[in-house]
Structure 1
């Protein structure tokens, strides 16, 4: 079998990680492979990766550099689910790449080996993506699946390899990053994946990585998992033959390039901009924030943001203003130019997405700096230029609450550039985002239906989730959406008299509540039990998430945005009835930064329930998870409350 890794043997110890690294990993493909034993710690997994070894080598291919990657994996199958997971393989073919030297086989529990022959390997396409696909014959409980392939890719500067999955733990992971001696990369391991120092072996540079006993890490409710997966990131940092001490592709370099790209204008650009600005009416609110809000809405109303627009001038200002269509880069350039010409100071911010991998000041991965925000020092607020469904001062919630690279304008005489520094992009405070509700409950004449007048009252990010409905959907689809929103009160589709107020996108500026109200008939909220009426009052707040999990929690809890949920329910008790179990309405699960409380008050025949649920932070570490779970489950417990009404 060919040796695709470095043909030298060298092991060194990294004092900082107490990890021994092997710099030589010849792929072993014996004619008579032996089955492996799965340790008890992974005994409940449906499949276990015995070995996951990979390499990335940068080397000359003709007159140009290319990247040669190799993948070798052995997986032990333990049950029917594992069989389903690995009885068919799909090897992705990335754009511009070639997948070659595919080998695959199944090793049965009896020791018999079933090879995948070349004629069984097919090319296929699914959802626009290309794959090499083949079946693994004979996969059974106790068998093992082994496969190997190589991929040649165009040269790239930044890369990542993830060694942790949601369902399959891994006993042994190994990685090699190989480059010519004159091409020095930086690499960093995350979440337990250890990475060696850079070493020169012959005419090559090698970085090794390894981790044993990598647990599976499934998705969990209220979490963003990707940032916690075991991985290695790497990037080209030095050209050892030319200015070897100068670090390449730094965050400072990116800041300068991004600033120049988004802010440089020509005389032709300015002429087109002046014509566009001349058509913009005066902002009704002349405060700084009012002007920013008005200009954003005007641009997003008059310019179509087409994220797929490439190669056709979508980032050229004159063409944008002529066709009223821009791609992401183009609309950022347009906003930067407009705010500059209108004298409104701003800073470009390259933001992390909390749903993905955060930017790391220590390792400059430019590919992760794709999200651009505008920060306004004069107001302390942000604008999300490429998102037509957001309005100032709100941005996508996952763009807030994380690290960003701020590009502060720096002028040296006539020369203008940007100073790039890291800072946090704050998220709107918890009490500015509400998912609130008011419900007035009366009985029908026959006491067999609850007649509910419900009001959903949303602010901040709570409203931002719904306001795009009234801008981008046709009237019939708006009506459907309204019914879906309102019927969450009591889970009834019998909805009438819907009224929506303050639905305009620009209402976000003053945080005016979006109100959706309607009348709902809810026969399922009442059960007639002889002389008693059973009122499922807890279901009025809608179905709630439960977190009664058996498996220990592995990830911290993280909310999309901090918020409050204030609910008021007024029940008009029919004449002659009393409520036997009012105390069931009282609950209190409170902690310093989150809580669920419900109280009640009776005034004559009216019972008013006041519920307050708060999540004041976006992140709750594992040591606070039990508290978080209790709060989440408290709302689910209230959802089950049934009042018993009876006649004395």
Structure 2
């Protein structure tokens, strides 16, 4: 969710201007002649000798501003570290001012090389047009130190701010200070093992909060981990204005009330007429069921209303959105709500965060957890993500689920309407809703047993169909054949296709029926002759499978996107005069259950009925966040598919 939404609609208590003080940064500087010490025998690519961050909220001319100071000293002990840090980007924007910016290199001989103004550069992002500034370091050699210090004056951010403390390199000394006027108090919460922020009660002119650490260990980014959410960080927010006895300034109750007032107004007659006209364009038949209406609304909006990331009053004006069909995130959400209200479809607004970046905290109310909008339909227990063009009803961005969120529900008492907000769990989509089902019938060419005749039937549902099925109306003619070919060629490119068919290839069937690909083909990719014997590469039929390796002990929980199931049935017609002598290789059974519920599993087995071998290989993952203690169990299961992928059946003459 864009920052400006909160700027527009959230309640901010009037801030009383207490006695003026001098900003901290004016009395702060780096050492003129530094003597940095580091263990030169270290194998670390990078060490932070010092990281100091000071955030100060300060009154100037009856307005509250923020001064942000960052001072770092880094030891670069590898070419990779030098390449990564030869440019340092500054948090500069059109509404901020750089008060101080300086940097220097201290080489291995202790020589100080100061960056002059020509090395503090300005560039522009070609796509967004946004300007940014950066330090361009030169003369860095392995074992050098770089040091930089800058101060930015900007609009204050105090409704909820995440400050990352831990990183993928060790830090010898960390200092975080937050200073605020003597009438404004702040609240803090530390995450992932960091100590709590303390108040320095000796400072009488300002409130002073601090977190000082020594020797903070690095945290490596592990495969399939929610790394940014797992690092040590601090969240802070303004709490009280003691000048007018206002407390709990940032609260989800106020967020709920203000969002409701903003998104659920009483519409004027003109707006009501435009909504009715828009609905006519949808061409929804009478007596259409509610879920079909929701799907139709979403499909029409995401296909016909241009989505812009720009902020402007026009792009969020509902009347203009209805007529011009151009909207930003705010305007799009207004459009959805106006249509759902007109159809009397009960729904709730949900605000949450992406759990791979920051887990929504149930107890600490801060706006930095409110980053993404969902719409929840309690009757159907499903979600819609209005701002995600590529997602569809029932299947929003997976990382927004299996998380907590703020649910905002309309309440009516007589003619009075209001809203209540409640933090609740966002259930993930179940594995039964995201299935990859494969049925393969395989015969051998009696005149050449190295050639297989294959009937391949694969159905994709839920998230597995989500990148294809909603957009099938764009895929026409030869492109449909190419789509089928790409699906089958993920297994083998050595084939001759005899027949192709797509079932449920209509866009509106996403979430209703699985997208199905049926292909008849012949191939010589699966059989090798070895004298009088034949080797049939059974595992290749299911396509390449991921194998997880772990060279050192796992530290972070594993974080998957969504629950999922794979169903695979392979029917093999054994050629006359032959038998398979290693059938037991097919049997694999690895699973993990908790409290009687199977969380993840891979099970393959066979049935032999005459000359027909039926093989089943099913795989299920019903848990997204895997605790470190269960990592090996999970790895065993997921590697089982890779083990199946290696199975080669031996056909011998009877």
Same fold (TM over 0.5): yes
SS where residue 543 of structure 1 aligns? coil
Q: Which residue of 1 aligns with 2:55?
A: 56
SS across alignment from 1:55: strand
Per the TM alignment, residue 326 of structure 1 is displaced from its structure 2 partner at its CA by 2.9
Matched, 1:638 2:640: no
How far apart, in 2, do the equivalents of 1:95 and 1:443 lie?
A: 69
Pair 1:397-2:403 in alignment? no
Find the counterpart in structure 2 of residue 226 from structure 1.
Answer: 228
Aligned counterparts of 2:125 and 2:318: Cα–Cα separation in 1: 37
- For residues 489-568 of structure 1, what are the structure 2 equivalents within 5 Å? 489-490=491-492, 497-510=499-512, 512-568=513-569
Q: 1:492 to 1:580 in 2, by over 3 A?
A: same
Map residues 288-437 of structure 1 onto 2, 5 A cutoff: 288-301=290-303, 303-308=304-309, 310-311=311-312, 313-437=314-438
- Offset at residue 126 of structure 1 (A): 4.7
Change (3 A) 1:554 1:91: same
- Look up the match of 1:582: 583
Deviations 1:542-568 (A, max 9, x none): 111111121322221222111111111
Matched, 1:207 2:209: yes
Matches within 5 A, 1:100-179: 100-126=99-125, 128=128, 130-157=131-158, 158-165=160-167, 167-179=168-180
The 1:110/1:519 distance shift into structure 2, 3 A limit, reads farther
- State the 1:630 CA deviation: 0.8
CA 1:482–1:182: 2 relative to 1, 3 Å:
farther
CA apart distance, 1:466: 2.7
Q: Give 1:46 shift.
A: 1.8
| Deviation, structure 1 residue 282 | 4.3
Change (3 A) 1:58 1:295: same
Partners of 2:77 and 2:497 lie apart in 1 by 51
Q: 2:472 aligns with which of 470, 487, 510?
A: 470
Q: Is the 8 A contact 1:48 1:170 kept in 2?
A: yes
In the alignment, the residues of structure 2 paired with residue 131 and residue 159 of structure 1 have an alpha-carbon distance, to the nearest angstrom, of 21
Q: Is the 8 A contact 1:391 1:505 kept in 2?
A: no
CA RMSD of aligned residues (A): 2.9
Give the Cα–Cα distance (whole angstroms) in 2 for the partners of residues 493 and 307 of structure 1: 44
Deviation (angstroms), 1:446: 3.6
Q: Write the distance in 2 (CA, Å) between the matches of 1:585 and 1:344.
A: 51
Deviates more, 1:175-184 or 1:265-274: 265-274
Shift of 1:631: 0.8
**Mapped contact 2:602–2:617 kept (Cα < 8 A):** yes
Q: Is the 8 A contact 1:305 1:331 kept in 2?
A: no
Q: Which residue of 2 aligns with 1:625?
A: 631
What is aligned with 1:458?
Answer: 460
Shift of the 629–215 alpha-carbon distance from structure 1 to 2, 3 Å rule, reads farther
Deviates more, 1:281-290 or 1:450-459: 281-290
Q: Is the 8 A contact 1:196 1:207 kept in 2?
A: yes
Instruction: Choose from 595, 604, 614 the match for 2:601.
Output: 595
For 1:209 and 1:529, the matched residues in 2 are separated by 70
What secondary structure sits across from 2:646 in the alignment?
coil
TM-aligned CA deviation for residue 184 of structure 1: 2.1
The equivalent residue for 1:84 is 83
Q: Secondary structure at the match of 1:633?
A: helix
Residues 193, 211 of structure 1: 8 Å contact kept: no
| Structure-2 separation of matches of 1:29 and 1:493 | 70
Greater alpha carbon shift after TM alignment, 220-229 vs 50-59: 220-229
CA change 1:126–1:477 in 2 (3 A) is: farther
Counterpart check, 1:606 vs 2:612: yes
Deviates more, 1:80-89 or 1:432-441: 80-89
8 A Cα contact 2:190 2:197, kept in partner: no
Shift of 1:357: 1.6
Alignment TM-score, normalising by the size of structure 1:
0.88
Contact 2:462 2:511 in 1 (8 A): no
How big is the shift at 1:637?
1.6
**1 CA distance for matches of 2:496 and 2:60?**
68
Summarize deviations over 1:559-597 as a string: whole Å, max 9, x none: 211111111122333334332322211111111111111
Q: Which moved more, 1:78-87 or 1:126-135?
A: 126-135
Matches of 1:451 and 1:130 in 2, distance apart?
Answer: 60
Paired residue secondary structure (1:194): coil
Quote the offset at 1:537 in angstroms.
Answer: 1.7
User: Residues 476 and 113 (structure 1 numbering): CA distance in 2 closer, same or farther, change over 3 Å?
Assistant: farther
Per-residue deviation, residues 371-405 of structure 1 (Å, max 9, x unmatched)? 22222233333333333433333333222211111
